Amino acid sequence: MFDHTSITTEISRTRRSMGAAAARLFQAEVERVVQAKSHCRVLFGCAPSQDEFLRHLVQRARAKPAVWKRVEAFHMDEYVGLPAAHAQSFRTYLHRHFLDHVKVAAFHPIRGEASAPAKEARRYAALLAAAPIDVVGMGIGENGHVAFNDPPVAKFRDPLLAKVVVLETACRQQQVNDGCFPTLADVPRRAITITLPVFARAGSLVCVVPGARKAHAVRNALLNPIGPACPATILRRHPRAALFLDKDSAAELPPELDS
């Protein structure tokens, strides 16, 4: 039996319209939280799959600057050993696609170049634990990962909020497929990542997943048993999760959803 629980799934004809729809909801969630609490903590995924979403979010955020001056921003992961200025650093990505265009109250980066990565993971975990994460903008990897929680290291009840992981080969290959690195050998083997409990405890999840290479992972996330074999199945346990797809990423879904 098809079990998608409470996920709201919206399928758009194009990546552009998908990104616009996701940005509309994300902005509304941020405004809702700021109105209720006067402050909002958001978490961003950093990958080419998020380009269209962030482009539209910049437009909406720039129209409401007072709202975003009450927002603290976090990101999900960073390669071990990469400095902030590296072209493929996720900090560089987030600045280029959002933070250079929108003023926020604070941005908390993961320092991939830290000499003691495990200590840096503990520092970031403490920041995450200080107050709830209100809104998450995220994607799904080709192997079903969220952040860098690949199937071999994903734990639904992880005792840590951030940790150092060894990246699965399929995950590293995705970075090549996305055009981020020229060859597999160029992709770092380790990263600092937030863990699955961060997603589970967040106020709302806005998941943006375009492209044909993600179609199988999307199908698995919605139809496979919930568990670490497909970390993205955690979406089905969340009461406020919304999944935004384009026609390509929705290609393997059953007809009752692809309409």
Q: Does residue 255 fall inside a structural domain?
A: no
Total domain count for the chain? 1
Q: Does residue 1 fall inside a structural domain?
A: no
Q: How many CB atoms lie within 10 A of CB 211?
A: 19
pLDDT digits (tens, 9 = 90+) for 57-78: 999 999 999 999 999 999 999 9
Which structural domain range is residue 119 located in? 8-246
Whether 6 has a pLDDT exceeding 80, the answer reads no
107, 207, 242, 251 alpha-carbon torsion, rounded to 10° = 170
Average pLDDT over residues 212-241: 97
Q: Does residue 257 fall inside a structural domain?
A: no
Per-residue pLDDT, 2: 30
Average pLDDT in the chain: 95
Q: Does residue 258 fall inside a structural domain?
A: no
Q: Does residue 112 fall inside a structural domain?
A: yes
Q: How many CB atoms lie within 10 A of CB 87?
A: 10
pLDDT digits (tens, 9 = 90+) for 106-140: 999 999 999 999 999 999 999 999 999 999 999 99
Contacts of 32 (CB under 8 A, 6+ apart): none
Q: Does residue 259 fall inside a structural domain?
A: no
**Phi and psi, residue 43, nearest 5°:** -130, 130
**Strand extents, DSSP E, the chain:** 8-12, 40-44, 71-75, 77-79, 106-108, 135-138, 162-166, 190-194, 204-209, 241-246
Q: Does residue 193 fall inside a structural domain?
A: yes
Q: Could you tell me the CATH number of the domain that includes residue 219?
A: 3.40.50.1360
pTM comes to 0.95
Per-residue pLDDT, 243: 98
Kindly indicate the confidence band of residue 167, based on its pLDDT and cuts at 50, 70 and 90: very high
Per-residue pLDDT, 1: 21
Q: Does residue 71 fall inside a structural domain?
A: yes
Strands 241-246 and 40-44: unpaired
